Amino acid sequence: MVVKSIKGLFLAVFCLFLGSPSILAQTPVVRLIPYQNYTSKLWGYRDSVSYKTVVEAKYQVARPFAEDLSAAKNGNQWSFVDRKGVEVIKVPDCDTIGNFLNGFARIEKEKKVGCLDKKGNMAIPMIYSQVGPFIDGRAIIAKGDLSVLQRGEPIELGFIDNTGKELFILNCQSLQYPAGGLAPIAMNNKWGYVDLTGKIIIPCQYDYADVFIGNAAIVATEGKGGLINKGGQYIVEPKYDYLTFVSSKYIVVFSGSLNESGYPDVGKFGVIDNTSKAVLPQQYDQMGANSGVIFIIQNDKCGIADTITGKIIVPCEMEFIPRFNEGIAYYSKGGKYGYIKEGGKILTQPLYETADDFSGGLAKVRQAGKIGFVNKAGVLFIPCTYDYAEGPFNGLWMVNKGSKYGFVSSKGLIIPCIYDMALYQDNDLVLVQKAGKEGLFDRNGKVLLDCTYDFIDKFVSELGYGSSSNMIARVQKVKNGE
């Protein structure tokens, strides 16, 4: 990318550490998960398979596990709970804590930040304005008032290692994580590169400088972008209006006008390699990378090029190729839709009137005005016999025939279209209604409550994180006119 603002780049790095706990949650090695007691609103832990309570609900907060530890708060005391439900770390007095990431958890008190290690030691003292995530054993640190960064003013920034040793501190406007031993740094509104000792290796002379990918980095000066090597010599002189790496070897280049956000508007795209050799001529109207391929458009026709070889694997013959989901994309040709796999193999010929993305192993298609579903083998797995389909809801689709409703999944028709109403509920439940009576199914089509209830009102998961078992339901069933 060519044009970027110095303001906010440094702060954006720290968002990696402060993100949503659910994003940082790791794949469980043991089955313990948090759950919330519906009555007390407190949190505890239970087995995700047997649903046996291991730790009674006593916490005001219990986060999903990250690196096999869950942050929990009881009163004013934060702790980390292991997969056995044991409080293994008592967190020192603090205002907030973060989840563990790469062996460290951010801790803050009175706007001073440090880090705990997994032994509960204060590995990084709470003396910094900010500490970023540890990447390759190093974290960005800041000293001073962070608000000055928003105004483009300098502040003390540097790196600290995972032993707590400051590698260097420099007065600068922005600092990014290093790649190949060099980190982009901004001073006096210009960008250059610094090594891990704090020595400026490539002077701050560019309007923008990106991280090195291999032996090449994108830099910009006077509104034009090019490539430099680690010695600061140009591989490609600044002549493009926009550049971006699409793999470790290939770079999409653009010449033309940019929009207000600094991205390509009208012009021509091409691809070069990291030695400046042209791979795809600069003749394409649009270009973008997704799922390991480069989507190309020329004269309103779409094609695909490979990011590994740079070769065109699907010529510009399609009217439309949006993106790959689950390794498959739909395309349009001759007014009909089909599916294509990553790598360019045609999965289905253009047979359908409409097509949607794959989700949960199925993709919705329309043929002769009716809706059906294709599976990932390209087979019309569920025939086009439905009038309407809505979803997906975590891999489930509500389908309709006439005035009757049911549900399908990658297993086929799991709830037949015999109900007057069928609604997906949170926690993978399906509420149905027939002849004025309500019932309940699980996501596999198993009947949980037969269709004999006047209403099934409030369904709340005690587990809190996606299980359909141990539901609290308030139901009413009227018998004999009572």
Residues 236-251: tens digit of each pLDDT: 999 999 999 999 999 9
Contact in structure between 270 and 280 (CB atoms under 8 Å):
yes
Mode of pairing for the β-strands spanning 429-434 and 421-425: antiparallel
Burial code of 175-192, b = ≥16 C-beta within 10 A, e = fewer? bbbbbeebbbbbbeebbb
pLDDT at 117 over 70: yes
Q: Which of 300, 301, 296 is nearest to 311 (CA)?
A: 296
Q: Which 8-state DSSP code applies to residue 10?
A: H
Alpha-carbon distance of 373 to 277, in angstroms, equals 44
pLDDT at 27 over 90: no
Residue corresponding to tokens 């003013």: 153
pLDDT at 92 over 80: yes
* Selected residue with higher pLDDT from 472 and 388: 388
Contact in structure between 54 and 13 (CB atoms under 8 Å):
no
Mode of pairing for the β-strands spanning 404-409 and 412-419: antiparallel
Q: Which 8-state DSSP code applies to residue 182?
A: B
Q: How confident is the model at residue 2 (pLDDT cuts 50, 70, 90)?
A: low
Contact in structure between 342 and 332 (CB atoms under 8 Å):
no
Q: Which 8-state DSSP code applies to residue 13?
A: H
In whole angstroms, what separates CA 398 from the centre of its chain?
26
Lowest mean pLDDT: which of 34-38, 125-129, 333-337? Answer: 34-38
The pair of structure tokens assigned to 201 is 């290796």
Letter for the amino acid at 432? Answer: V
Alpha-carbon distance of 428 to 426, in angstroms, equals 6
In whole angstroms, what separates CA 272 from the centre of its chain?
28
The pair of structure tokens assigned to 4 is 């970027």
Letter for the amino acid at 232? Answer: G
Mode of pairing for the β-strands spanning 96-101 and 87-90: unpaired
Please give the pLDDT value at position 476: 61
Cis amide leading into 392 (omega within 30): yes
Please give the pLDDT value at position 462: 40
Please give the pLDDT value at position 388: 95
Please give the pLDDT value at position 427: 64
List strands edge to edge, sheet with 328-333.
328-333, 336-341, 346-352
